[in-house]
């Protein structure tokens, strides 16, 4: 995060033009500049190519033809809106990024949008999982669903039970407010429940509903997450039935959870907050990288005594900067980071489901062989660092279906 050096005065930017230069800031209606800036954060690479000339055109017209500045700003925003809302954005092919309503001027986050997005990504992931495993939903004993921001009544886990008509004694858990590291926490809970209920199936669903992480205000400290968080979900079936070993892909070897919430800096490094206008957004502090580094070190210290060797690593694909720092700190190779970087490039930050997209990438590239160990690392607010280690029970052939990388 860059330090704010710009002075704020009456809700706008204090403009000081040098002698001989036009006062560009003073001649531009900052209301439309701010609105345009919010939209431009989410532009595709193709439209970004045209930004410099468009910006210069807008400044020129604002300075010398001020009466045309307003209609030009509307035209540019409509042009951006056209590029940002392709007709295929709602396809259930895991290449969707954000709901198109986010880019409509004046759109307000509402519960209906959140529920619709949740149903789309969650049911899509579960449908594909059930088709691949051929498991009858009536045999599912345990359901664990995690979603950080959207917590409704009835819960999202209850929504799943209602949609699939799971049995009345299903043990259902809905984890909320635990951030991007909650996916591994959900696995940990499901593991403990399977130990208590031998011979059972546990369905784990990890997602984040980005309709409720989108920030539509003007506080620059709350805007960065808009650039990274994207739609996504993953569904995982765990079994404690011995008979399922022959067809299982992986065996859970170790799981280590580290929580740094007792430290105030760590606790406040990521939080959902409101700006002066009451608009909600996700705040990420400048200290978050140091906080993550300390949590990771503590986690590895424990994990290292249990599992000294891994063939594959899936680091939560939160941002390029975070991946660069982790690669440098752990002295990882480009091959080690390949799955994380490709996932970030193609799908963005899908929060707690990110490490599953990365595992799917490794399967798609036929990189996982029998006996290989896969290390998944997740970070989340609080602050948490969680690790889980899986051992491949067989060579994993590239799936012909049910893999987002096939699309």
Closest to 295 (Cα-Cα) out of 265, 332, 327, 324: 265
**What per-residue confidence (pLDDT) applies to 80?**
53
3-state secondary structure of 272: strand
First to last CA, the chain: 35
Q: Which of 180, 299, 314, 386 is catalytic?
A: 180
Active-site residue identified among 226, 336, 349, 386 = 349
Length of the chain: 407
Q: 341: phi > 0 → left, psi -120 to 50 → alpha, else beta; which?
A: alpha
Gap between the Cα atoms of 375 and 359, Å rounded: 10
Q: Is 11 left (phi over 0), alpha (psi -120 to 50) or beta?
A: left
Q: Using CA atoms, how far apart are residues 47 and 40, in angstroms rounded to an integer?
A: 9
CB 261 within 8 A of CB 399: no
HSE-up (13 A, CA, CB side) for residue 154: 10
Active site residue 312: yes
Residue whose entry in the numeric block shows the structure tokens 């407010």: 177
Q: What average pLDDT values come out for the chain (407 residues) when binned by 10 residues? A: 33 35 40 43 48 69 64 61 38 46 67 89 93 93 94 94 96 93 95 94 93 83 86 93 91 94 93 90 90 93 79 92 92 94 92 94 94 95 94 90 78
Task: DSSP for 82-129, please give it.
Answer: HHH--TTTT-SSS---S-GGGGSTT----HHHHHHHHHHHHHHHHHHH
Q: Tokens representing 260?
A: 């740094």
Nearest to 122 by CA among 112, 132, 114, 110: 114
Out of 218, 259, 314, 386, pick the active-site residue.
259
User: What value does the CA radius of gyration of the chain take, rounded to a whole number of Å?
Assistant: 23
Nearest Cα to Cα of residue 289 among 379, 212, 352, 377:
379
Task: Give the model's pLDDT for residue 34.
Answer: 45
pLDDT at residue 15, as a whole number: 31
CA distance 322 to 182: 18
Q: How far apart are CA 332 and CA 323, in angstroms?
A: 10
Identify the pLDDT of residue 98.
61
> From residue 193, how far is each of 11, 159, 197, 204, 338 by CA, in Å?
53, 21, 6, 12, 33
- pTM here is 0.75
pLDDT computed for residue 58 by the predictor: 67
Angle at 148 between CA 147 and CA 151, to 5 degrees: 70
Whether 259 sits among the annotated catalytic residues: the reply is yes
Question: Chain centroid to CA 6: how far?
Answer: 30
Catalytic (active site) residue 48: no
CA–CA distance, 189 with 193 (Å, rounded to integer) = 6
Looking at 312, 336, 385, 386, which residue is catalytic? 312
d(CA 118, CA 316): 21
180 given a catalytic annotation: yes
Contact 282, 270 (CB under 8 A): yes
Phi-psi region of 106 (alpha: psi -120 to 50; beta: other; left: phi over 0): left
Question: With contact defined as beta carbons under 8 Å apart, do 355 and 314 qualify?
Answer: yes
Check residue 62 and give its pLDDT.
Answer: 66
């Amino acid at each position: 995060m860059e330090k704010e050096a710009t002075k704020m005065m009456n809700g706008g930017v204090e403009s000081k033009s040098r002698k001989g230069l036009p006062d560009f800031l003073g001649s531009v209606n900052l209301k439309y500049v701010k609105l345009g800036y919010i939209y431009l954060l989410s532009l595709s690479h193709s439209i970004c190519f045209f930004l410099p000339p468009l910006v210069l055109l807008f400044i020129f017209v604002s300075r010398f033809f001020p009466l045309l500045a307003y209609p030009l700003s509307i035209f540019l925003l409509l042009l951006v809106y056209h590029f940002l809302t392709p007709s295929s954005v709602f396809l259930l092919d895991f290449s969707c990024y954000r709901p198109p309503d986010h880019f409509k001027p004046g759109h307000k986050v509402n519960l209906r949008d959140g529920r619709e997005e949740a149903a789309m990504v969650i049911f899509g992931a579960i449908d594909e999982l059930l088709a691949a495993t051929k498991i009858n939903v009536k045999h599912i004993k345990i359901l664990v669903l995690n979603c950080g921001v959207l917590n409704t009544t009835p819960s999202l886990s209850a929504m799943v039970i209602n949609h699939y008509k799971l049995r009345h004694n299903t043990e259902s858990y809905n984890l909320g407010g635990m951030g991007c590291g909650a996916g591994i926490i959900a696995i940990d809970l499901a593991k403990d429940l399977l130990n208590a209920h031998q011979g059972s199936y546990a369905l784990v669903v990890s997602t984040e509903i980005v309709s409720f992480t989108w920030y539509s205000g003007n506080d620059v400290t709350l805007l960065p997450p808009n650039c990274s968080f994207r739609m996504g979900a993953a569904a995982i079936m765990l079994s404690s039935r011995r008979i399922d070993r022959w067809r299982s892909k992986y065996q859970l070897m170790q799981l280590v959870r580290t929580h740094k919430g007792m430290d105030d800096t760590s606790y406040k490094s990521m939080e959902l907050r409101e700006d002066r206008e009451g608009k909600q957004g996700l705040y990420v502090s400048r200290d978050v990288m140091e906080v993550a580094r300390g949590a990771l070190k503590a986690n590895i210290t424990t994990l290292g005594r249990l599992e000294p060797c891994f063939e594959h690593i899936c680091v939560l694909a939160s941002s390029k900067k975070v991946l660069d720092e982790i690669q440098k700190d752990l002295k990882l190779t480009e091959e080690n980071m390949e799955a994380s970087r490709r996932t970030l490039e193609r799908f963005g930050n899908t929060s707690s489901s990110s490490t599953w997209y990365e595992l799917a990438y490794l399967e798609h590239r036929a990189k996982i062989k029998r006996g290989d160990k896969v290390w998944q690392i997740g970070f989340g607010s609080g602050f948490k660092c969680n690790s889980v280690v899986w051992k491949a029970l067989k060579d994993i052939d590239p799936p012909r279906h049910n893999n987002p990388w096939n699309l």
